[in-house]
Amino acid sequence: MSLRFESLPLTPEMLKVIADIGYVQQTPIQAQAIPLLLEGKDVIAQSKTGSGKTAAFAIPLLQKIAVKDNFIQALVLSPTRELCTQVAREIRKIGRSEKNLKVVTLSGGHAAYFDVKSLEYGAHIAVGTPGRLLDLINRDKLNLTHVQMVVLDEADRMLDMGFRDKIEEILKKTPTNRQTVLFSATYPNTIETLSRQYQKSPKRITIDAAEDEIQAIEQIVINTHPATKTDALLRFLASRPLESVLIFCNQKLTVGELVTDLRKCGSSVDKLHGDLDQGERERVMAKFRNQTTRILVATDVAARGIDIAGLDAVINYDFPGDPAQYVHRIGRTGRAGKKGVAVSFLTSRESEKLVAVRDYITAEISVIEATEIKKVKQSEFKRVGTPTKMETISISAGRKDKIRAGDILGALTGDVGIAGTDVGKIEILDRVSFVAITQSSAKQAMTRLSGGKIKGRKFIVQMVR
Ligand code: ADP
Ligand code: MG
């Protein structure tokens, strides 16, 4: 099977965009799913987070849309507002050669009135959470009569979150001749049931938990006592130069406690768990992506599906419950040819969990005792995360306010302003934007951005702390 995008029957415009974005070859899930989806087959596909599932359905989906027809032709269901935003962003990116293409996100976070308005203007693709979608359908604001394709992204997660009834109700409101596609990181029985009820002779695709990628990760298990776990973690963090670290806890409560402990030691750390509202999540993620925060502590639920590139380390503060979860968590490090490290703390009561992981993967795991990590001075803890290179600034305007990255860059660098090299990632969301800026230029950036230099308009500009 060729991995080249050119081997697919895609329009030249689509191929050009893909090349421009920098996707050189298909990921394994794309190579298997795209041809089947282009043929119109129902597909149930499973592969790990970060394996390119979004483009795997977005590319065929976009090829089916007729932009001249001003109605919803494809529906994507995704579990959270944040994931909906990510999916919509990827669809727009890949669909950008179609100037009039409209992708709406219907996922709450603001009054439904705004959603109704965007739908009234006309749209081709709707990406939404089951709750908000169903709400709009029941109020006759979302017409599904022309839907050809329904994608359930992160289907496992949506079922975990109790969306089953809502998903079924939505599916029942779509035309029966639709193409139904399920994408998932894991494959619980509940998905099988859903598939049997709503898909027609589905093709099943399973991409193995990428053995070779896991091979590239240095895996360490640290035997520890529950009472000394945090101490062992701090010593580990201080023992290596790590720039970006994701720490998993099994419970929300532990996330809060650990963040407090790490802060006490001067670490630059934030938490991510299910209770944060959308604005808080967006700020936390933006800071972490910009490396304004170096450590993110999260639960599985909160970190699910979130794509963060270039992690140096994933740490299982709590050992994951099952081997698939272990692979799923640690697979987030060591991406893009970088060698990552995965560290997992294990208490004596949990030893059978390690046995299960060793049965599940072939890669080497070294086991050490917490006492083997060298003792470090309190001052050395600070090394983790303190040298923040970039600050993150938020601007109260986004895509819906017709703000583009170029506008912000222009405001910062225009008329002999800040050097372009001091400006990092610019992220435009629906109603907010984030810009990374070197510490030395942060003050000047605040002044320029709040001084009405963005398209001559005034917005609320804040340093995200
Ligand atoms: P998943 O949904 O499987 O978790 P995503 O769709 O979020 O994964 O993709 C993960 C990352 O990989 C994204 O940053 C995306 O832009 C990138 N990506 C997707 N397809 C390719 C490709 N063919 N080549 C290079 N990068 C890709
Ligand atoms: Mg995804």
Q: Which residue owns the Cα nearest ligand 1 atom 15?
A: 52
Closest CA to 153 of 94, 213, 109, 88: 88
E-only strand ranges, 30-124: 43-46, 74-77, 103-106
- Give residue 131's Cα distance to chain centre: 20
Q: Is 253 in a helix, a strand, or coil?
A: helix
| Range list for CATH 3.40.50.300 in the chain | 5-207, 212-385
Closest CA to 318 of 297, 340, 332: 297
CB 420 within 8 A of CB 409: yes
**Percent of the chain whose predicted confidence (pLDDT) is above 90:** 52
Rounded mean pLDDT of 386-404? 83
**Is the Cβ atom of 89 under 6 angstroms away from ligand 1?**
no
**Is the Cβ atom of 244 under 6 angstroms away from ligand 1?**
no
Of all atoms in ligand 1, which is nearest to the CA of residue 86? 7
Whether residue 382 is predicted with pLDDT greater than 80 in this model: the reply is no
Query: What contacts 246, CB < 8 A, 6 or more positions away?
Result: 295, 296, 298, 303, 308, 311, 313, 314, 315, 332, 333
Write the CA distances from 27 to 30, 32, 51, 202, 459, integer angstroms: 5, 9, 7, 21, 40
Instruction: Give the distance (Å) from ligand 2 centre to CA of residue 307.
Output: 8
* Model pLDDT, residue 336: 54
Give the ligand whose atoms come closest to the C-alpha of residue 328: 1
Q: Which residue owns the Cα nearest ligand 1 atom 9?
A: 52
**Is the Cβ atom of 23 under 6 angstroms away from ligand 1?**
yes
**Is the Cβ atom of 148 under 6 angstroms away from ligand 1?**
no
Segment 105-155, tens digit of pLDDT: 999 878 888 888 888 889 999 999 999 999 999 999 999 999 999 999 999
Of all atoms in ligand 1, which is nearest to the CA of residue 26? 23
Q: Which residue owns the Cα nearest ligand 1 atom 26?
A: 23
Angle between helices 81-94 and 278-289 (to 10 degrees): 60
- Name the class of domain 5-207: alpha beta
Instruction: Give the distance (Å) from ligand 2 centre to CA of residue 51.
Output: 8
233 forms beta bridges with: none
Of all atoms in ligand 1, which is nearest to the CA of residue 51? 3
Rounded mean pLDDT of 209-218? 68
Of all atoms in ligand 1, which is nearest to the CA of residue 29? 3
CB 345 within 8 A of CB 222: yes
Angle between helices 351-360 and 323-330 (to 10 degrees): 70
Whether residue 387 is predicted with pLDDT greater than 60 in this model: the reply is no
Question: Whole-angstrom Cα distance, residue 160 to residue 181?
Answer: 18
Closest CA to 109 of 252, 281, 272: 281
**Is the Cβ atom of 55 under 6 angstroms away from ligand 1?**
yes
Segment 432-451, tens digit of pLDDT: 999 999 988 989 999 888 87
Query: What contacts 465, CB < 8 A, 6 or more positions away?
Result: none
CB 112 within 8 A of CB 135: yes
What average pLDDT does the chain have?
88
User: Can you identify the CATH homologous superfamily of domain 212-385?
Assistant: P-loop containing nucleotide triphosphate hydrolases (3.40.50.300)
Question: Whole-angstrom Cα distance, residue 18 to residue 58?
Answer: 12
Instruction: Compute how many other C-beta atoms are within 10 angstroms of the C-beta atom of residue 335.
Output: 17
What b/e readout covers 282-303, taking b as 16+ CB neighbours within 10 angstroms? bbbbbbbbbbbbbbbbbbbebb
Q: Which of 307, 327, 329, 427 to mutate to test the pocket of ligand 1 (most atoms within 8 A of CB)?
A: 307
Rounded mean pLDDT of 211-226? 83
The DSSP line for 417-438 is -S-GGGEEEEEE-SS-EEEEEE
The structure tokens 């490090």 sit at 333
* Model pLDDT, residue 385: 45
**Is the Cβ atom of 46 under 6 angstroms away from ligand 1?**
no
* Model pLDDT, residue 393: 92
**Is the Cβ atom of 79 under 6 angstroms away from ligand 1?**
no
pTM above 0.85, yes or no: no
Write the CA distances from 272 to 50, 206, 280, integer angstroms: 18, 29, 9
Whether residue 394 is predicted with pLDDT greater than 60 in this model: the reply is yes
Give the ligand whose atoms come closest to the C-alpha of residue 46: 1
**Is the Cβ atom of 49 under 6 angstroms away from ligand 1?**
yes
**Is the Cβ atom of 26 under 6 angstroms away from ligand 1?**
yes
* CATH for the stretch 390-463: 3.30.70.330
Closest CA to 328 of 157, 177, 119: 157
Question: Whole-angstrom Cα distance, residue 5 to residue 23?
Answer: 9
- Pure H helices in 180-251: 189-198, 211-215, 229-239
The DSSP line for 193-207 is HHHHHH-SSPEEEE-
Least confident span in 11-20, 35-44, 393-402: 393-402
| Range list for CATH 3.30.70.330 in the chain | 390-463
